[in-house]
Chains A and B, each alone.
Chain A
């Protein structure tokens, strides 16, 4: 919205390295495709229909780790970095520290992810959940995270005056992610055996969600939602409560992954209480976002990026409500080790953060290539199939988990729990295929938009 005739390139475009943002998104979608195929392979194994059975390189166990690590470090991390390269310079009106460094990080991070996939398929995994990256890659990944912090923190801290909400989350996330990765990948591997190491792994698993993915996700929501709506957040006070509540309670929850283990019981109680506290914090954040569209909720449906954002926000409410229940010791007796937890994890990683990042891509890709989407209809199919598939998978695994828990607790023979799971696992295959079909619509649309697209729309860029 810069007036005046002279500058050919608007400020925002000089601040943002747009080809880099696009490169991150394409990398993210490539890994998303790999992740989905890996998930499909494991899903087919569970219904005894694995077409690649008996081939070492296609071992479903190894591909399961490709599935989770590909989702976290390939899809979500890449998409976050792309979105941050757009949001941080525009929000702070300062470029990142160094463009060559940005591109170096991009190349290095792809190297880390590809090495992880190859290492996992070669059977070199590390026994830390969500951190199966082979141990020789860990120091490289950690160095990469340090460079990310070095690249993004200067534009944020060099600005005078109070910081906007998004900047709080980003700033804290860069520190937390580095610390979390260092703690989880090195302490239980080299220094702390057994139960004490288990406590650290619990912290790591949950900090990865709570201190890496969650703050970056909410930071981006606090940036994109008001910009698309062209109005400020409903309540700044609630923004403050949300951030500081998360910062205090989230790191304390990790041990809830290992309830009823030999980890000291008072620590387990502490984790349960903190987890329930997080739920109340999350409610304030969700109320803040709903309050922002309260008087014209239809906008959140009509605008496709906003629709993805708010679908994710509602899913976040569901997962966190679920969290507050399932973390209680009573609930744990039934659902621990079952597919309930798997459904929960899918809803968090895809249904919340995946949805937000897909929404961000749908908002940004036309602005990056300066062409409108090739097909609005394909984008609608993408939304419909993905959300329907995700919802079906969530409820399917939820009920599967309850059935499994009841079967185990009532001392039925083990095979009984497999027999009753089978129909649920077939539905899960179906739900997975719906999600895959949705992403195929999206991939095709992205490809055609990049290749051809429709008329150039400069006003899209001006509005950004």
Chain B
């Protein structure tokens, strides 16, 4: 059996693979079967819509480009329903950009329950946070060259993100993040459809919690204050 073709093909090849898939793959699927996948529309929330509104008034040209890119009429008067729909489509589009630019190779999206991470980033990651179409495939991440982003929303302003995407070192001297001038029409004041979508996505991350997490105290500031 151990040196025969049937033993190798059936037991090692198929059998052990199936065993691992059932025990390690199917078990979590069954455990989460009561947590159905939410759509992008369902995970749009009040925090995000406020940021969305800010983006529209701050960068009207770029915002119009985004609306046109998503196949809608930028002249149409926004309603709560249309905004919600637009925000959902923006998140889907931004997620593609986020993956295409390999952001998730340098930024994780989960907070571990160890190494003081909840003090730096905020509440520890929970399963329900990932049960939506924007986490399929899940974006846990693999390396933290830059900060974790799962609690990034609300931490910084939209114009901060615009300048940072355009040239990160202009805000963070030590930053090794690449520049993304192709998110803009020439300068940081004019993000294009990609820039607006990416900023909206940043503000969405963690916005599903009751309030944006913002408790981490920079030790440099803490020292400066008596």
Option from A53, A261, A412 in Cβ contact (under 8 Å) with B178 = A53
Which residues of A are found within 8 Å of B112, using beta-carbon distances? Answer: 260-261, 333, 336
Contact of A179 with B17 in the complex, beta carbons under 8 Å: yes
Which residues of B are found within 8 Å of A156, using beta-carbon distances? Answer: 5
B108 interfacial by beta-carbon distance below 8 Å: yes
Which residues of B are found within 8 Å of A45, using beta-carbon distances? Answer: 176, 178
A221 interfacial by beta-carbon distance below 8 Å: no
Which residues of A are found within 8 Å of B138, using beta-carbon distances? Answer: 127, 188, 193-195, 197-198, 201
Contact of A261 with B140 in the complex, beta carbons under 8 Å: yes
Option from A192, A240, A414 in Cβ contact (under 8 Å) with B2 = A240
Distance (whole angstroms) from the CB of B53 to the closest CB of chain A: 28
B101 interfacial by beta-carbon distance below 8 Å: yes
Contact of B181 with A337 in the complex, beta carbons under 8 Å: no
B23 interfacial by beta-carbon distance below 8 Å: yes
Contact of A162 with B4 in the complex, beta carbons under 8 Å: yes
Inter-chain CA distance A341–B113, complex, in Å, is 20
Which residues of B are found within 8 Å of A422, using beta-carbon distances? Answer: 174
Interface segment out of the listed A222-230, A248-256, A446-454: A248-256
B38 nearest CB neighbor, chain A only: A193
A18 interfacial by beta-carbon distance below 8 Å: no
Contact with A along B1-13 (1 / 0, CB 8 A): 0111100110111
Contact of B115 with A46 in the complex, beta carbons under 8 Å: no
Asked whether A262 and B130 contact (CB < 8 A) given A65-B102, A175-B9, A176-B17, the answer is: yes
Distance (whole angstroms) from the CB of B187 to the closest CB of chain A: 13
A203 interfacial by beta-carbon distance below 8 Å: yes
A126 interfacial by beta-carbon distance below 8 Å: yes
Inter-chain CA distance A419–B220, complex, in Å, is 15
Option from B4, B25, B99, B169 in Cβ contact (under 8 Å) with A127 = B99
Distance (whole angstroms) from the CB of B172 to the closest CB of chain A: 6
Which residues of A are found within 8 Å of B16, using beta-carbon distances? Answer: 247-248, 251
Interface centre among A157, A198, A252 (most CB of B within 10 A): A198
Interface segment out of the listed A110-118, A264-272, A349-357, A436-444: A264-272
Asked whether A261 and B110 contact (CB < 8 A) given A46-B176, A59-B101, A267-B27, the answer is: yes
Contact of B97 with A251 in the complex, beta carbons under 8 Å: no
A62 interfacial by beta-carbon distance below 8 Å: yes
Contact with B along A87-115 (1 / 0, CB 8 A): 00000000000000000000000000000
Interface segment out of the listed B60-68, B74-82, B143-151, B203-211: B143-151
Contact of B21 with A183 in the complex, beta carbons under 8 Å: yes
Contact of A193 with B130 in the complex, beta carbons under 8 Å: yes
Contact of B130 with A203 in the complex, beta carbons under 8 Å: no
Distance (whole angstroms) from the CB of A195 to the closest CB of chain B: 5
Which residues of A are found within 8 Å of B25, using beta-carbon distances? Answer: 183, 187, 196, 199-200, 203
Distance (whole angstroms) from the CB of A32 to the closest CB of chain B: 21
Contact of A61 with B24 in the complex, beta carbons under 8 Å: no
Contact with A along B200-218 (1 / 0, CB 8 A): 0000000000000000001
Which residues of B are found within 8 Å of A254, using beta-carbon distances? Answer: 20, 24
Contact of B116 with A337 in the complex, beta carbons under 8 Å: no
B170 interfacial by beta-carbon distance below 8 Å: no
A163 interfacial by beta-carbon distance below 8 Å: yes
Contact of A197 with B136 in the complex, beta carbons under 8 Å: yes
Contact residues of B between 1 and 46, Cβ < 8 Å to A: 2-5, 8-9, 11-14, 16-17, 19-21, 23-25, 27-29, 31-32, 35, 37
Inter-chain CA distance A65–B140, complex, in Å, is 17
A64 interfacial by beta-carbon distance below 8 Å: yes
A199 nearest CB neighbor, chain B only: B28
Question: What total count of A-B pairs have CB within 8 Å?
Answer: 237
Contact of B9 with A189 in the complex, beta carbons under 8 Å: no
Asked whether A411 and B5 contact (CB < 8 A) given A50-B178, A251-B16, A418-B174, the answer is: no
Which residues of B are found within 8 Å of A267, using beta-carbon distances? Answer: 23-24, 27-28
Distance (whole angstroms) from the CB of A60 to the closest CB of chain B: 5
Which residues of B are found within 8 Å of A262, using beta-carbon distances? Answer: 110, 125-127, 129-130
Inter-chain CA distance A419–B99, complex, in Å, is 27
Which residues of A are found within 8 Å of B146, using beta-carbon distances? Answer: 414
Distance (whole angstroms) from the CB of A130 to the closest CB of chain B: 10
Contact with B along A193-219 (1 / 0, CB 8 A): 111111111110001000100000000
Asked whether A125 and B115 contact (CB < 8 A) given A171-B5, A172-B8, A203-B24, the answer is: no
Inter-chain CA distance A248–B23, complex, in Å, is 13
Contact of A194 with B132 in the complex, beta carbons under 8 Å: yes
Inter-chain CA distance A418–B173, complex, in Å, is 10
Contact of B115 with A195 in the complex, beta carbons under 8 Å: no
Asked whether A192 and B136 contact (CB < 8 A) given A171-B8, A211-B17, the answer is: yes
Asked whether A192 and B127 contact (CB < 8 A) given A127-B99, A244-B2, the answer is: no
Contact with A along B168-185 (1 / 0, CB 8 A): 010011111011111000
B114 interfacial by beta-carbon distance below 8 Å: yes
Inter-chain CA distance A237–B102, complex, in Å, is 45
Contact of A252 with B24 in the complex, beta carbons under 8 Å: yes
Contact of A162 with B3 in the complex, beta carbons under 8 Å: yes
Option from A62, A197, A418 in Cβ contact (under 8 Å) with B176 = A418
B131 interfacial by beta-carbon distance below 8 Å: yes
Contact with B along A390-426 (1 / 0, CB 8 A): 0000000000000011001111111100110010010
Interface centre among B3, B24, B101, B112 (most CB of A within 10 A): B24
Contact residues of B between 110 and 168, Cβ < 8 Å to A: 110, 112-117, 119-120, 125-127, 129-133, 135-147
Extra 4 A-B pairs, beta carbons < 8 Å, given A196-B29, A337-B142: A60-B178, A194-B131, A247-B11, A333-B112
Q: Which 5 A-B pairs have the closest CB atoms?
A: A194-B130, A61-B102, A123-B100, A251-B20, A175-B13
Q: List 26 A-B contacts (CB under 8 A).
A: A45-B178, A59-B102, A64-B105, A126-B99, A128-B137, A157-B9, A163-B4, A168-B8, A179-B14, A180-B17, A183-B25, A187-B25, A194-B32, A194-B37, A194-B131, A195-B32, A199-B25, A202-B24, A211-B17, A248-B12, A251-B19, A252-B19, A337-B143, A404-B144, A411-B116, A415-B174
